[in-house]
Amino acid sequence: MRRPRRFRGFTSWAASWPAIAYLALVIGPLRNRRYSALALCAVFAVLDETLQAFTPARTGSLYDVALDVSGALFGFLVYSAYAAARLKKAFLLAKR
C-alpha cells in the first residue's frame, strides 16, 4: 500500500531526524543547544530544496521544506521530552 505523498516526506524524515538531532545535541558540537540545532536543520532543509530546484529531474518546494522542518521539530520535541524527564529524575534523586 502506498502512503500519500504528504506522509512519505514526514515519515522518512521523522525516522532520521531524531537520530541526527540527538547526535548533534548530545555528542556533537551543538551540545545543549537545541534551538541552534533546530535552526540548522531548517537551513539544511531550505538548502536541500534550493539545490533540488536547480536539478533537472527534481523540483524544489516550500511544502517539502515544511515537511523536512516538521521532521526536525519532531526530533526536537522528542529530545526535549527526554531531557526534561532526565532533569526531573536527577532533581528527585537530589532531594533524597
Q: Is residue 50 part of a domain?
A: yes
Best CA proximity match to 42, nearest among 75, 68, 62: 68
The secondary element (H helix, E strand) that includes residue 40 is helix 34-53
Within 8 A by CB and 6+ apart from 41, the residues are 17, 20, 21, 68, 69, 72, 75
Looking at the 3D structure of the chain, how many domains does it have? 1
Q: Is residue 2 part of a domain?
A: no
Q: Is residue 1 part of a domain?
A: no
The whole domain housing 37 covers 7-95
Instruction: State the pTM of this model.
Output: 0.69
Write out pLDDT tens, residues 57-92.
Answer: 888 888 888 887 887 787 788 888 888 998 888 888
User: pLDDT class for 10, splitting at 50, 70, 90?
Assistant: low
Most confident of 28-42, 47-61, 63-77: 47-61
Question: Which one has a higher pLDDT value, 85 or 10?
Answer: 85
Q: Is the pLDDT of residue 24 over 80?
A: no
Q: What is the pLDDT of residue 62?
A: 87
Please state, rounded to an integer, the average pLDDT across all residues of the chain: 76
Best CA proximity match to 66, nearest among 25, 13, 20, 3: 13
DSSP summary character for residue 13: H
* Cα dihedral 7, 55, 65, 44 in deg (nearest 10): 120
